[in-house]
């Protein structure tokens, strides 16, 4: 049985996935998009414009959508974020009115920032959500800059595919993985499809596919009673033991 020790810190954001979240069916993730992320061409395949928003690559993993127009009033900016525009593949979100995250050359009322799992959505889906939000607050003619941090850029952390080793759980860091031993799947804190152990990442309590990075997690300490590892079992990223 696992022992749970609750830490006083809770990480918060606009959208936090449950600990037992899984991606099913995996056809919701664009395999062609993942392939471009693996070979480093994901941001090079983006259009120059989508639904009236100009598209620009502004950093190693950053994309900016920008629509010209009048600056939003403070009231419009507040109502734009309450409720906040959401879309599939979103991992976090900020309005510059309530965050240290700002947009260069853009008034805070017209600046939003998001973390995005791009292979589960599209720029057109994001642009449509922003357009609908502007219309909702009576600012269809308003300017808006949307900063996107793309989760999948760079592909898996380990580039050696099947030669990558499963990652030990932080509570059993000295556990020795036996490549020939049977893997016993643990039931929780797992998400995503995989080809091999290199596709799975387990930095905290979650063992997830590399393209599911981002979001928030409760800051709780989970003690595994025996060595546990994050790896690929039956094409799913999962925690497992070998005892």
- Report the mean per-residue pLDDT for the chain: 87
pLDDT of residue 6: 32
Higher pLDDT, 6 or 94: 94
Q: Which distant-in-sequence residues (6+ apart) come within 8 Å of 35 by Cβ?
A: none
Residue 240 has pLDDT above 60, yes or no: yes
Domain positions in the chain are 3-28+156-241, 43-150
pLDDT of residue 2: 42
Give mean pLDDT, residues 55-80. 97
pLDDT of residue 228: 94
Residue 148 has pLDDT above 60, yes or no: yes
Other CB atoms within a 10 A radius of the CB of residue 65 amount to 23
Q: Which distant-in-sequence residues (6+ apart) come within 8 Å of 100 by Cβ?
A: none
What share of the chain has pLDDT > 90, as a percent?
A: 75
Cβ-contact 135, 25 below 8 angstroms: no
pLDDT of residue 10: 33
Q: Is 16 helix (H, G, I), strand (E, B) or coil?
A: coil
Give mean pLDDT, residues 220-224. 85
Rounded to whole angstroms, the maximal C-alpha distance in the chain is 64
Task: Give 49-118 as a DSSP string.
Answer: EETTEEEEE-SSSEEEEEE-SBPPPHHHHHHHTTTPP--TTEEEEEEGGGSS---TTS-GGGEEEEEE-G
Q: Which of 17-21, 37-41, 104-108, 154-158 has the weakest average pLDDT?
A: 17-21
Give mean pLDDT, residues 160-176. 92
**Residue 93 φ/ψ region, left for φ over 0, alpha for ψ in the -120 to 50 degree band, beta for the rest:** beta
pLDDT digits (tens, 9 = 90+) for 179-214: 999 999 998 888 899 999 999 998 788 999 999 988
- Taking the whole predicted model, whether its pTM rises above 0.85 is answered as no
Write down how long the chain is. Answer: 243
Cβ-contact 92, 131 below 8 angstroms: no
Buried b (16+ CB within 10 A) or exposed e, 104-116: eebbbbbbbbbbb
Buried b (16+ CB within 10 A) or exposed e, 9-27: eeeeebebbeeebbbeeee
pLDDT digits (tens, 9 = 90+) for 80-121: 999 999 999 999 999 999 999 999 999 999 999 999 999 999
């Amino acid at each position: 049985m696992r022992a749970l020790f609750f830490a006083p810190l809770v990480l918060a954001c606009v959208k936090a996935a449950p600990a037992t979240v899984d991606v099913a069916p995996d056809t919701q993730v664009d395999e062609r998009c993942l392939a471009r992320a693996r070979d480093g061409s994901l941001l090079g395949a983006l259009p120059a414009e989508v639904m009236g928003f100009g598209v620009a690559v502004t950093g190693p993993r950053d994309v900016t959508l920008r629509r010209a127009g009048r600056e939003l009033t403070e009231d419009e900016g507040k109502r734009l974020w309450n409720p906040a525009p959401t879309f599939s593949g979103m991992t976090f979100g900020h309005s510059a009115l309530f965050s240290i995250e700002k947009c260069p050359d853009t008034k805070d009322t017209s600046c939003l920032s998001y973390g995005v799992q791009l292979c589960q959505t599209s720029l057109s889906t994001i642009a449509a959500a922003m357009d609908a939000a502007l219309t909702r607050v009576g600012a269809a003619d308003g300017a808006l800059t949307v900063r996107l941090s793309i989760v999948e850029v760079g592909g898996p952390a380990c580039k050696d595919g099947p030669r990558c080793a499963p990652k030990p759980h932080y509570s059993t860091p000295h556990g020795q993985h036996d490549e020939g031993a049977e893997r016993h799947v643990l039931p929780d804190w797992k998400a995503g499809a995989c080809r091999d152990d290199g596709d799975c990442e387990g930095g905290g309590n979650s063992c997830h596919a590399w393209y599911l990075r981002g979001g928030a997690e409760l800051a709780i300490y989970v003690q595994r009673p025996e060595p546990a590892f994050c790896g690929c079992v039956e094409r799913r990223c999962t925690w497992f033991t070998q005892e």
